[in-house]
Amino acid sequence: MTNVAAPAVDTHCPYCALQCGMRLSGARVEPREFPTNRGGLCQKGWTSGALLTTAHRLTTPLVRVGGELVSASWDDALDLIARKLSALRAEHGPDSVAVFGGGGLTTEKCYLLGKFARVALGTSQIDYNGRFCMSSAAAAGTRAFGLDRGMPFPITDVTRADVVLLAGANPAETMPPFLQHVRNAANSGGLIVVDPRRTPTAEQATLHLQPRPGTDLALALGILHAVVADGHVRGDYVAERTTGFEAAWRIAAAWWPERVERVTGVAAADQRRAAALLAGADRAVVLTGRGTEQHARGTDTVSAWINLALALGLPGVAGSGYGCLTGQGNGQGGREHGQKADQLPGYRRIDDPAARAHVAGVWGVDPDSLPGVGRSAYELLDALGTEGGPKALLVFGSNVVVSAPRAGHVADRLSALDLLVVADFVLSETARRADVVLPVTQWAEEDGTLTNLEGRILRRVKSVDPPDGVRSDLSVLRGLAVRLGQPAHRFPDDPDEVFAELRRASRGGPADYSGITPERLSAGEELFWPVPDEDHPGTPRMFLDSFAHPDGRARFVPVDHSGPAEPVDDEYPLIATTGRVLQHYQSGAQTRLVPELVDAVPEVHVEVHPDTAARAGLVEGAWARVVSRRGATRARVRLVASARQDTVFLPFHFPGAQRANLLTNPALDPTSRMPEFKVCAVRLEVMT
C-alpha cells in the first residue's frame, strides 16, 4: 500500500494536457481553481486517486526466466540489463539499442532520457509516443510561424473569443473542463465543429461540419475559397505580416465550395456560413486536434487550417489566433527537450552543428560523439529485430502494444528482440512481453515539471510516498548509466538538479527555459516559455510583434487535397476512424485500473449507422468483427443514427482482441512521420 503523506498539496491531474489543477490529500482528490479547469474536473480526474492504491501495483523488478516473469533484486535486474546492452553494442554497434519514451513523462525524465540515449548508449534510435499525438501540428506550425508552441496564447483568449472553430477535436470527452472556454462562442452562435462524427462536442455547436474522413484538407480549402470570394480576406494583415498568399490561393481557387461539397459531403452553404462567422467575429480562434493531424497528409491538412487563419488575420493578434490542442499531459515539454528522434533540448535540431556544440558543452562530451537523427516512432518499432535494426528496446511511459498502428505487427517486432525492458508502475500489455520490468514511481509520488497545452510550465508536487521497492525513472537511468561506464554526476536523479541542467541546455534555444526556477514556479508565477532569464516574465502570447522566421513574417504554405492513403473498395467498403471516450485515456493502461471507469465503459464498441449495420446483418449489442488489410478486432455494435453511413468509429483504449489499432494504417506523413490513425478501409462481419 502507498504511505500517505501530509499535508494536502496543490498539484495537477495525471492525464491530458489541460493539466487541471487539483488538491491531493493521500489518494483523495479535490478540484482547485486554476486557469485551465476553473475548479472543474472530469470523471478521469476525479477518480485519479484510485491509481495510487491499485492492487495491480508493481513493487519489485521482474526478470523473465524460463518464459515466466519472476521477482528479482534491483541490482540483479540492472546488472542484467547493462550486461546485455553492453554485449549488443559491442557486437552490433550503438544503434542496436533503442529507447521509446512518452508524452506523459515529466520534463526532467524526457530530458534525461534523451541524454541517456545519446550519451550513455550513443544511439540515435530514440523517439516517443508523442509522434503519434501532435507531430503534424508541430511541423505545420513550425513551417508557418518559424516555431511551434501548440497554443501560442493563454486559454483565457479562447474563453473570450466570439467564434471558435474546432477542427478534429472532441474536448467534451477528451478534456471536458475545456468546454467552459468555448461557452461564450457557443452562447453567441459562434462555435463551429469539424468532425465526421456527431460527438458530444458537435452537439453543442452552432455549426457542425461533418466531412467524409480524410477530406478535412479539401474542406479547409473550400472555406478559404469562400473567405476570398466573399471579400473577407484581411488584406492589410496579409500584406504586412505574411508571405506566400498567392501560391496558396492558386490552389484554393480551384476548390470552390460546390466542388468541395462533392468531395467532403459538407454543404457549400455551410462552408460559406463558416467563413462568414469567422470573418465577422471581433475575436476568433481556430484550433486543431488529432482528427485533423493523424493522417498521412496531416501536416498539409493542418497547414490548410493555418492558411485559413492567416487569411483572416488571426495569428499573432491578441484575443485571436491559431492553436493546437495538445493531447498528452506533457506532450509539449516531451518533445521540446530531447526524446524526439531529431531534437535536442530547447527545441534544437540535432543536425544543427551549433545546437550540438551547445548541448554537448552542457553535457561535458565531444559534439562529434553525439549521434545524428534517428528513426521516427513507427519506423523504429517496425525495424525492431530486423537486419540492421535495433536488437534491444527500453520503454518508458508508453504502451505500444495497444497504442501503435498496425499493433499486431508491432507486437511481433517486440517478440523478435534480444532484450525488451519496460519501466512502468503496473504490468501493462507491453510490460507483459518484456524480458525485464522495472517498477517505477507514478504521478503523485515524485516532484517534476510539465508543460501544458498553452506552453505554461507547471510544477507537479509529490504528495505521497511510493511503495517500498519502487524507484523513479531518473534513478533507473542513473543506475543504468553508471553501469554502462558513465560518471554518476552526469546523470543526477534529483528532479531539481536535472531541471537546473535542463535550463542551461535550453538557454538560447527556441524553447528557452533558462529563466524558470523551482522557486518561481512554487511562488505561483505564470510562466509561459520562452523565459530567457530570471527577470523575464515569460511569454503568454507569442508572435504579437513578429513571427519566428528571419523576416518576421508568417508563411502561407500551398497545399492540395489528395485523399487518404488507403481508399475503400468492394472488399473493404467502409472507413474506420478511431478516437477516445470520456472514461478512458490513451491505451487505457491507467484508466482500466479504476473500477468506476471500467464499470462505465468495460469494452470496445463500434459505432455504426443503423442502415450500415442492417446491410452487414448486425444489430444493437451484437459482437461484430471489424476487418482491415492488417488485422481484425472484435467490438460490440452500437447503433448511432447520426453516424455517416460510410464510416465506423472505434475507441482505442482496449487490449487483446479488442485493440482498434490492429486495424489502423501505418502510412506515414512525409514531414511529421505521423501514422494515418484516422482513416483505414474496413468491412464488418457477423461474429459466429
Question: In which band, very low, low, confident or very high, does the pLDDT at 99 lie, cut at 50, 70 and 90?
Answer: very high
> What is the predicted pLDDT for the residue at 5?
46
Of 31, 323, 297, which Cα lies nearest the Cα of 150?
Answer: 323
- What span, in angstroms and rounded, lies between the C-alpha atoms of 140 and 151? 13
Q: How far apart are CA 100 and CA 448, in angstroms?
A: 20
Tens digits of residue pLDDT in 504-553: 999 999 999 999 999 999 998 999 999 999 999 999 999 999 999 999 99
pLDDT band at 6 (very low <50, low <70, confident <90, very high): low
Domains with residue ranges and CATH for the chain: 3-53 (2.20.25.90), 62-132+341-440+473-496 (3.40.50.740), 135-325 (3.40.228.10), 574-686 (2.40.40.20)
Report yes or no: 575 and 566 within 8 Å, Cβ to Cβ.
Answer: no
At 458, which helix (H) or strand (E)?
Answer: strand 457-460
For the chain, give the mean pLDDT.
96
| Percent of the chain topping pLDDT 70 | 99
At position 369, the amino acid (one-letter code) is: S
Q: pLDDT (tens digit, 9 = 90+) per residue, 223-233?
A: 999 999 999 99
Would you call 226 helix, strand, or coil by DSSP? helix
Q: Is the pLDDT of residue 385 over 70?
A: yes
Check pLDDT > 70 for residue 3: no
CA nearest to 118, candidates 135, 97, 132:
97
pLDDT of residue 120: 98
Check pLDDT > 50 for residue 1. Answer: no
Residue pLDDT, tens place only, 231-290: 999 999 999 999 999 999 999 999 999 999 999 999 999 999 999 999 999 999 999 999
pLDDT at 657: 97
Q: What is the pLDDT of residues 40-86, one digit of tens each?
A: 999 999 999 999 999 999 999 999 999 999 999 999 999 999 999 99
Q: Are 25 and 49 in contact (CB under 8 A)?
A: no
Average pLDDT over residues 343-369: 97
With 0-12 / 13-18 / 19 or more C-beta atoms within 10 angstroms meaning exposed / middle / buried, residue 203 is exposed
Burial class (CB in 10 A: 0-12, 13-18, 19+), 276: middle
Burial 331-351 (b: 16+ CB within 10 A, else e): bbbbbbbbbbbbbbbbbbebe
Can you list the positions of beta strands (E) in 108-180? Answer: 126-128, 163-167
The amino acid at 296: A
> CA 609 to CA 397: how far, in whole Å?
36
Q: Give the pLDDT band (50/70/90) at residue 10.
A: very high
Q: pLDDT tens-digit profile of 177-202? A: 999 999 999 999 999 999 999 999 99
The residues with which 288 forms a beta bridge, in sequence order, are 167, 324
The separation between CA 40 and the C-alpha centre of its own chain, rounded to angstroms, equals 22
The model's pTM is: 0.96
Going along 497-645, which residue ranges are E strands?
554-555, 574-579, 605-608, 623-627, 632-639
pLDDT over 60 (residue 464):
yes
Average pLDDT over residues 586-614: 97
Q: Which of 89, 75, 59, 83 is nearest to 390 (CA)?
A: 89
Residue whose C-alpha is closest to residue 21's, from 155, 196, 221:
155
Summarised one tens digit per residue, pLDDT across range 441-457 is 999 999 999 999 999 99
Q: Among candidates 331, 433, 464, which has minimal Cα distance to 51?
A: 464
| Residue 284 in grid coordinates | 476568433
| Distance in angstroms (rounded) separating the CA atoms of residues 592 and 517 | 36
* Backbone φ and ψ of 317, nearest 5°: -120, 125
Judged against a pLDDT cut of 70, whether residue 595 lies above it is answered with yes
- In 3D, which of 529, 546, 547, 548 has the Cα closest to residue 538? 529
Q: Which cell numbers in the block locate residue 565?
A: 492513403
Mean pLDDT, residues 331-336: 88
Would you state the pLDDT for residue 7? Answer: 78
Query: pLDDT value at position 548?
Result: 97
